[in-house]
Amino acid sequence: MKKVLGLVSVSLVGGIAFVLSGSYNVSASNKHWDITTKILELARDRSVHTASENIEVPDLDAIEMISNGAKNYDAMCVQCHLAPGAPGTELNQALYPRPPIFHQNDDKHKHSPAETFWVIKNGFKMTGMPAWGEFHTDQQLWEMTAFLQKINNMTANRYFELVGEGGHSHSDNAVHFEASSDDGHQESSHKDIVNNGH
């Protein structure tokens, strides 16, 4: 028993010393080991599943819900997660872990509607995924969930049909600032990205 306690103590002291030394590389360009990635993904997936298992899912098939969700997705998500017909973005390629490209995902990598809603609402720690529930109503989050159930293998033409000319909306107490670059120019819309190729 003393040997076990001794090993635990040494491991604990060694772990603390390693953390305090600053030796661990937190750079986003320095990827995790494969085993570390698998453990983190398992913990993430189990957490999302457990947190969302009692969420009641509304009817997500109404075309108005899907179209409204597409508009919000186009305004809020395409810089990270891209959209059908759009090229890659620097943000998508530079973030780590890299944001999933939903229209290229196969079904085995897709969350359930309840899980998708929970992720959109609560976000993920230390990934760049925001908690959109802070600024949007549950109805708006379900609309985005409805859209994401349909995005797999969606064509660019179908995407543009759903996005249309309308913009996205927020809850009454939310404030939204258009993303801008350092020189004061607004971020390109999805249509601009497709037309300009960047």
Q: Is residue 90 part of a domain?
A: yes
pLDDT over 90 at 79, yes or no: yes
> Mean per-residue pLDDT for 93-121?
89
| pTM score, whole prediction | 0.77
Q: Is residue 13 part of a domain?
A: no
What's the maximum distance between 2 C-alpha atoms anywhere in the chain? Answer: 71
Q: Is residue 27 part of a domain?
A: no
Looking at the chain, the number of H-run helices and the number of E-run strands are: 9, 0
Q: What is the pLDDT of residues 147-173, one digit of tens each?
A: 999 999 999 999 999 998 544 555 444
Q: Is residue 22 part of a domain?
A: no
Q: Is residue 3 part of a domain?
A: no
Task: Give the DSSP per-residue string, 149-196.
Answer: TT-TT--HHHHHHHHTT------TT------B-TTSPBPPPHHHHHHH
172 or 32, which is more confident: 32
Domains held by the chain: number: 1
In this structure, are residues 159 and 84 in contact, taking their beta carbons and an 8 Å threshold? yes
Q: With residue 38 as reference, give the H or E element that holds it.
A: helix 34-52
pLDDT over 50 at 86, yes or no: yes
pLDDT over 60 at 175, yes or no: no
Q: Is residue 128 part of a domain?
A: yes
Whole-number pLDDT of residue 195? 46
State which residues form the domain around 98: 33-196
Whole-number pLDDT of residue 169? 52
Mean per-residue pLDDT over the chain, rounded: 84
In this structure, are residues 111 and 29 in contact, taking their beta carbons and an 8 Å threshold? no
CATH (domain of 191): 1.10.760.10
Whole-number pLDDT of residue 78? 95
Among the ranges given (75-84, 86-95, 122-131, 177-186), the one the predictor scored with the smallest mean pLDDT: 177-186
